[in-house]
Structure 1
């Protein structure tokens, strides 16, 4: 079962254990998989973000969007195209019909 939760950054814990309250800021360097800490004295320290390199971390909403953006974009575009085709078909049926009641029913918009 997929649980979408915020990933626990192991590097934060390591750096907090090393330096405690002497850390002024921390950031995640995704390209190297490390957490970088900026210390009060102007120096920096880093720690690996994973306990084991092959460890599969739980999925988050952001990671799912980052991995599946092409698929989700395709589904969204397909839905918009399908809705447009349905609207065009409805307008075409209304135009082909000589019955004014059918035209009014298919093109009416309820403001309520």
Structure 2
């Protein structure tokens, strides 16, 4: 079940426990799964962002979109295509059912 909650960064806690107030800034290196900290003496330290590499973290909204963007793009394209097809069929059907005077009246007045 997708919970869509924010992931807790374990690396932040590890670095805070190691260095405390000596940390100037921290950043997340998502490619390597680590948190990198710049210390006040100019050195750099890093910590892993996962407790266990096989641990399955809860999905977030961004992770779902990042993994399934092709599916959502295809779904949007299909919806647009079906909507366009329905409008074309409705336009064609309306021209066969209504008289040309009624169609002209509906297209000239803004209230319709």
Shorter-chain TM-score range: 0.7 to 0.9
Which 10-residue stretch deviates more, 62-71 or 17-26? 17-26
CA shift digits 1:45-97 (9 cap, x unpaired): 00000010000000000000011010011111111111111111111112223
Mapped partners of 1:109, 1:55: distance in 2? 63
Q: 1:22: Cα distance to partner?
A: 1.4
Structure 1: segments with no counterpart, 5+ residues: none
TM-score by length of 2: 0.86
Query: Counterpart of 1:7?
Result: 7
Q: Which runs of 5+ in 2 are unaligned?
A: none
TM-score, normalised on structure 1?
0.86
Alignment-derived partner of residue 57 in structure 2: 57
Report what 2:32 is aligned to: 32
3-state SS of 1:62 partner: helix
Report SS of the residue matched to 1:46. Answer: strand
The alignment of Structure 1 onto Structure 2 pairs a total of residues equal to 112
